[in-house]
Amino acid sequence: MAGRSVTVLNVAEKPSVAKAVAAILSRNPGGLRVRDGRSRYNKIFEFDYTIRDQPCKMLFTSVIGHLMELEFDTRYRKWHSCDPADLFQAPVHKTVPEDKKDIKRTLEEEARRCQWLVLWLDCDREGENIAFEVVDVCTAVNPHLTIKRARFSALIPSEIFQSVQNLVEPNKWFADAVDARQEIDLRIGASFTRFQTMLMKDAFNIDTVTDGRNTVLSYGPCQFPTLGFVVERYWEIQAHEPEEFWSINCSHRSDEGTANFSWGRGHLFDYTCAVIIYEMCVEEPTATVTNVRQQEKLKYPPHPLSTIELEKRASRYFRMSSEHTMKVAEELYQGGFISYPRTETDNFSSRTDLRAIVQEQQGHPEWGTYAQRLLDPETGLWRNPRGGGHDDKAHPPIHPTKFSAGESGWSQNHRNIYELVVRHYLACVSKAAVGAETTVEIDIAGELFSACGRVILEKNYLDVYRFESWGGSVIPTYTIDQQFIPTTLTLDPGVTRPPPLLSEADLLSCMDKEGIGTDATMHDHIKKLLERFYATKDANMRFTPTNLGEALVMGYDDMGYKLWKPYLRAVMERDMKLVSEGNKSKGEVLDTSLQQMKDCFLDARLNKVKLLEAMAIFFERSNRVGSEHQNTTVEVVRRCGLCQESDMALKKNRDGKFMVGCLGYPQCRSVVWLPGSISEAVVTTNTCNNCTPGPVFLIQFKFRQLEIPPSYNVNHLGCIGGCDEILTQLTEICGTGSRMPARARGPTPATGNNHHTNPRQSACLHCQETGHSSNDCPSQTRRSRNAQQPGMDQQSGESSVTCSSCGAPGVLRTANTANNRGRKFYTCQSQECSFFVWEDSINNGSGGRGSTRSNNVSTSTRGRNGGRGPRGRGRSGSNSSGGTFVTATGDPISGRRCFTCGDPSHFANVCPNRGN
């Protein structure tokens, strides 16, 4: 029943959508009044309308995408204002940015005099989130507004009229899911981006990679797994080792044509076996037909068009980037030519009038005739479309909504995308193509071969879907038990080939399969890879990682973390979907996801030297960083009180124990030994109020629970300046982190505000005696001398020396390399080092060389194209076996040994024990 007129504020997501909807609803262009708002881009359209018998004065305006931005409080926004780890719990809030303040003022002014607020935002999660931003602004000045939501999928009169008469409530679950995503992405992205940018930007010369631009080494929880797909495929290609194979091919030519038969075995890698089988076939070449099969084959039309499929097909057919495809599709949607282009749905609702969509296309000069055939019942061409099993409950599949033979302002890309949408729709409501397929199997000397021929009987959907084809070939007629002599019978070589680089369509498929991003954001993540110089895209739309992109992935991979893998993000995406369905709360998902990623962040920071090592493979060190930065990441704690020239920084010694040492080493050997029970230590931005001279930055320690008394907390924010009693007590109780035993060393003395140790009074790391340095230790001189005196291994009975690195007995081996074949050398039996010395060098007094074995790829042996397969690390990231191969110069190469007997002096293919 008609009542008193109400004033309705209608808000669309873009000015063009507001204009289009207002024009449709006003019907009479003369009755549509236009005035300016505070923002000159967002006009206000006024007209009268009736909603369910309710007279309304409609005010129609718009925003421009998101009205608000999520950001940290002011004190956390500057990069050096806080520890990046603090960003996982730093306060965040939504604010209207300065460039959208005028839009906000328009909404506030109009909302004050309205009774209703109708939201015409895009009907996906992102649109729902923007809708609630509008609600927050409007209800702040008018809390009595009646709030309604219009749901539509196309800017056409039928959709708009139906939606305005069936207004619904906005979906808070959808908005919460987007809020969760925004907060997770902000916290994770900001913390990791600051961490890796500050760590490496000034440490390496990477300006040439980034075209001299201001470099930000960004990390995005979707962007980085996307980069991982690109790098992983690249590593597969680099690690590929071609293998030669052989196959037998047969052909038979008759008056009816030629049939090419393929070998049932495919191919063999063993040449001898292939030759033997081939000779058997040549000796008895008569072919006998053993089977002839004839059957009908169908080639089905595609499923209705979703966003991902649109992007993939545009990339394959037109070589358009996913980003540009979405830009063009959005413009076609705003013009009313296609339905909403952001949808996961590939299944039409039973309520959709499918034939009406086809009817509009009957007049087109290219596919109009096919549309007429499709609607003719006598052709039998119509077939209800197959569903792909996906439905986002928001929008139908992408389909044409208005006829066009090509608008004057369209580019070729607009014509291509419109044509793809129309032809795809016509194809999916058509019958499958029908073909008759014949398969013939023959026997030659006991070996099976087969040939296949196909004749297309009915093209059906292929008549309109010019982007697909179904090749057919006719083969001669054969009958069972027929015999013939092959026209050709050859043994042909071949070689295995690596997989190709990922195309844009491949990359979208990987992201879709693993749940990385959404249909509306996937193209943005790909765009970011190119903008950040993490990857390049060639003319064939295939991606290659840059040195920078590969180094970052390699660094995290060497840490043992799968931050570049899709698993963590896929779990987050599933959780956010549960939020949108009301099955999980936003707070629950935030707590779980952020705690998990914070743990990853803290671990990554403790192992950040891996990132530096990976970057050092590809980039030169920068002169902007002093020598103290060359081998480790510097976390400065305070100025050195001994030399007064360098800073003291948190470090790890060779045992992996923490200490605070002077960066002027070896000229200055000032050091503060820390308790050996520390498992984690990170320098914070907090400073001590007691110790002078300052600043003395506090360190966040984490102790191993089983190595400290139960009365002490495992987490401790401590000071190394001398005022920290807890740190002093734990040092006395647990010993320090130096290489010598705690019982021989005693607690580190504290004098005044400094724990500096006089280099002349510090104990030697090898014998724990004072008066000399570790480099001049007599025990090491004796050990080196002893290592050059061959003895006998009591267990094996082999000639042996003592390893100069760990003291374990060495074993005499024989080299099998090209330049040192037959030359004898000693190696260590210990699995923890790779001691090596030539036997003849012992008599010459040159001694041996010992080193700690590394399970990581050696930076001296892994080049740019080294790969991560058999010669490097495989794509699974598994470590190498840990043996020692000898190069022509006698230098050991870590991680290689014979797979048959374990001897590091030769490869398995020349092992004397092979086959035993």
Write down the pLDDT at residue 636: 84
The backbone torsions φ and ψ at residue 322, rounded to the nearest 5 degrees and listed phi first, read: -65, -35
Q: Is residue 75 left, alpha or beta, with left meaning phi > 0 and alpha meaning psi from -120 to 50?
A: alpha
Least confident of 223-237, 598-612, 823-837: 823-837
Which residues, 6 or more positions from 318, have their beta carbon under 8 angstroms from its beta carbon? 413, 416, 417, 420
Sorting pLDDT into bands at 50, 70 and 90, what band is 385? Answer: very high
Structure tokens at 140: 């702040």
Integer Cα distance of 213 and 233 in angstroms: 28
Least confident of 109-123, 238-252, 507-521, 639-653: 639-653
CA distance to 144, 301, 404, 422, 453, per residue, from 257 (Å): 83, 31, 46, 39, 11
User: Does position 181 have pLDDT exceeding 50, yes or no?
Assistant: yes
Integer Cα distance of 80 and 84 in angstroms: 9
Integer Cα distance of 779 and 772 in angstroms: 11
User: Does position 250 have pLDDT exceeding 50, yes or no?
Assistant: yes
* Region 723-730 average pLDDT: 88
Write down the pLDDT at residue 322: 92
Integer Cα distance of 331 and 16 in angstroms: 10
User: Does position 765 have pLDDT exceeding 80, yes or no?
Assistant: no
User: Does position 818 have pLDDT exceeding 70, yes or no?
Assistant: no
Write down the pLDDT at residue 892: 40
527-536 residue pLDDT tens: 999 988 999 9
Respond yes or no on whether the N-terminal peptide bond of residue 695 is cis (omega within 30° of 0). Answer: yes
Mean of the per-residue pLDDT values of the chain: 81
User: Does position 80 have pLDDT exceeding 90, yes or no?
Assistant: no
* Region 52-68 average pLDDT: 93
User: Does position 793 have pLDDT exceeding 50, yes or no?
Assistant: no
Parallel, antiparallel, or unpaired: how do β-strands 33-35 and 146-149 relate? unpaired
Q: Burial code of 414-424, b = ≥16 C-beta within 10 A, e = fewer? A: bebbbbbbbbb
Structure tokens at 740: 């010598």
Write down the pLDDT at residue 902: 60
User: Does position 7 have pLDDT exceeding 60, yes or no?
Assistant: yes
Dihedral angle over CA of 864, 867, 868, 870, nearest 10: -140
Q: Residue 662's beta-bridge partner residues?
A: 648
Residues 390, 346 contacting (CB under 8 angstroms) = yes
* Region 384-410 average pLDDT: 88
Which residues, 6 or more positions from 138, have their beta carbon under 8 angstroms from its beta carbon? 9, 107, 108, 111, 117, 145
Sorting pLDDT into bands at 50, 70 and 90, what band is 520? Answer: confident
Residues 91, 41 contacting (CB under 8 angstroms) = no
450: helix, strand or coil: strand
User: Does position 749 have pLDDT exceeding 50, yes or no?
Assistant: no
Catalytic residues: 340
User: Does position 661 have pLDDT exceeding 90, yes or no?
Assistant: no
DSSP 520: T
Q: Strands (DSSP E) along 264-380, which ranges? A: 287-299
Residue % of the chain over a pLDDT of 90: 47
Sorting pLDDT into bands at 50, 70 and 90, what band is 845? Answer: very low
Respond yes or no on whether the N-terminal peptide bond of residue 302 is cis (omega within 30° of 0). Answer: no
The backbone torsions φ and ψ at residue 216, rounded to the nearest 5 degrees and listed phi first, read: -125, 115
Sorting pLDDT into bands at 50, 70 and 90, what band is 882? Answer: very low
Sorting pLDDT into bands at 50, 70 and 90, what band is 686? Answer: confident
Structure tokens at 214: 């201001």
DSSP 384: P
453-483 residue pLDDT tens: 998 999 999 999 999 988 778 899 999 999 9
Write down the pLDDT at residue 440: 96
Which residues, 6 or more positions from 909, have their beta carbon under 8 angstroms from its beta carbon? none
Write down the pLDDT at residue 906: 52
- Between 44 and 784, where is the model more confident? 44
Q: Strands (DSSP E) along 160-212, which ranges? A: none
> In the chain, how many H helices and how many E strands?
22, 31
User: Does position 487 have pLDDT exceeding 70, yes or no?
Assistant: yes
546: helix, strand or coil: coil
- Between 70 and 158, where is the model more confident? 70
Residues 129, 174 contacting (CB under 8 angstroms) = yes
Integer Cα distance of 874 and 868 in angstroms: 5
Integer Cα distance of 423 and 430 in angstroms: 11
Write down the pLDDT at residue 408: 87
Write down the pLDDT at residue 44: 95
Which residues, 6 or more positions from 662, have their beta carbon under 8 angstroms from its beta carbon? 640, 642, 643, 646, 647, 648, 668, 669, 670, 671
121-147 residue pLDDT tens: 988 888 999 999 999 999 999 999 999
583-611 residue pLDDT tens: 999 999 999 999 989 988 998 888 888 88
pTM score, whole prediction: 0.65
Write down the pLDDT at residue 244: 95
320-361 residue pLDDT tens: 999 999 999 999 998 889 999 988 889 998 878 899 999 999
Integer Cα distance of 526 and 544 in angstroms: 12
Q: Burial code of 797-806, b = ≥16 C-beta within 10 A, e = fewer? A: eeebbbbbbe
Structure tokens at 565: 């893998």
Sorting pLDDT into bands at 50, 70 and 90, what band is 516? Answer: confident
617-638 residue pLDDT tens: 888 876 544 333 344 456 788 8
* Region 396-419 average pLDDT: 92
Write down the pLDDT at residue 422: 97
User: Does position 753 have pLDDT exceeding 90, yes or no?
Assistant: no
* Region 219-245 average pLDDT: 92
Residue % of the chain over a pLDDT of 70: 77
Least confident of 224-233, 328-337, 551-560, 745-754: 745-754
* Region 650-657 average pLDDT: 77
CA distance to 332, 364, 452, 495, per residue, from 474 (Å): 44, 35, 9, 29
784: helix, strand or coil: helix
267-321 residue pLDDT tens: 999 999 999 999 999 999 999 999 999 999 999 999 999 999 999 999 999 999 9
Integer Cα distance of 608 and 652 in angstroms: 12
Dihedral angle over CA of 323, 327, 330, 332, nearest 10: -130
